[in-house]
Amino acid sequence: MKLFSKVSLLAGLIIASTGLTAAEVNGRLGQNLKIMQDILQTSLGGQEHSSIGRIQHSYLMGQGVAFRVDSNSGWLRHFVMPPMPPMPPAAPGAPGTAMAVATNVANSISISENGNSFSFSFDEEAIEEMAEAAEALAEQQQDQSEKLRDLREERRDIERDLRDYEREKRDIEFSSKVSKLTAEQQKELKEINQKSEQLKTQLAQLQKSLTEQEQEYNKKRAEQQKLAAQRQTELVAKVGQVFSSTLCDYGASLRDLKEQEFVSFQLSLSGRNNAKDHYWVVKKADINQCVTGKIDAPALLKKASYYQY
């Protein structure tokens, strides 16, 4: 309590000595930004859907407003899926292949251009199917990993048995240098040689199978990573289109945002193998041009500053 009091007193003295006071933000501006946040939320599917990631916003005086949505929650999580796990060969006609999942992803979210505006929609049922497919693929990946682990353990067991037989063989051969081997020792040596050859054959077959499965595992993983990257690129493009279209159609609601300020949108892809976030920054003056019909939504998107960080 004493420490808190001292800190509070020190902060008060600093503010008093510098003459700093908190500036008041125009109340109408706050309403403008809240309205635009709700409009963007609706443009990305609507608040009534629990699977939609919640958009948030913040305002920096003199800079503008920044809207943000996190792909780690909501439908974005299912669209920008992590690399899909390897899949065992499916039965003819069986659903759930990587291509089927990719098709569902592509079909669930679509943008159609009509004149100078875009319409954005997604299939809630398809999103749910993608979530279930992702869980099923994760289970298949786990099964495949366990099979590879079992094969490696089996290989270690065989290699250990081979070392034991080789050690016994060396002991008997050393005895043969000292004295003649008995009939029992000769029989034992013969059995050891036979078992060693059997284990070597078994080990070679096992190693071949393990190598093939590991190669297939890595091939599938590379294909799935490429597919995931492609879908992420499509998502980023579509989000940018929705953002620019929404600003053109409803930018007039930002009437209290100053002409020299900016409107930005952040698509957060954090937690996805060090994936960078995506940003679109648009000048309020350019938004006004689109609202008045001097430019269209695609032109506004081209004027926007886009970067990743």
Residue 141 in domain: yes
- Residue 244 pLDDT > 90: yes
Question: How many CB atoms lie under 10 A from the CB of residue 133?
Answer: 21
Decide the pairing of beta strands 64-70 and 262-268. parallel
Residue 276 in domain: yes
Residue 26's identity, in one-letter code, is: N
Residue 126 in domain: yes
Helix axes 98-108, 124-178, angle to 10 degrees: 150
Please report the pLDDT score of residue 229 as a whole number.
82
Residue 85 in domain: yes
Residue 2 in domain: no
- Residue 71 pLDDT > 80: no
Residue 177 vs residue 279, higher pLDDT: 279
- Residue 129 pLDDT > 60: yes
- φ and ψ of 194, to 5 deg: -65, -45
**Contact (CB, 8 A) for 273 and 82:** yes
Residue 163 in domain: no
Please report the pLDDT score of residue 16 as a whole number.
47
Most confident of the ranges 47-51, 52-56, 229-233, 283-287? 283-287
Number of domain units in the chain: 1
According to DSSP, residue 254 is labeled G
Range of the domain at 55: 28-158+230-308
Decide the pairing of beta strands 64-70 and 305-308. unpaired
**Band (243; pLDDT cuts 50, 70, 90):** very high
- State pTM to two decimals: 0.60
- Residue 145 pLDDT > 90: no
Mean pLDDT of 171-184: 84
Residue 175 in domain: no
According to DSSP, residue 260 is labeled T
Q: What is the dihedral of CA 218, 223, 228, 229, to 10 degrees?
A: 100
Residue 256 in domain: yes
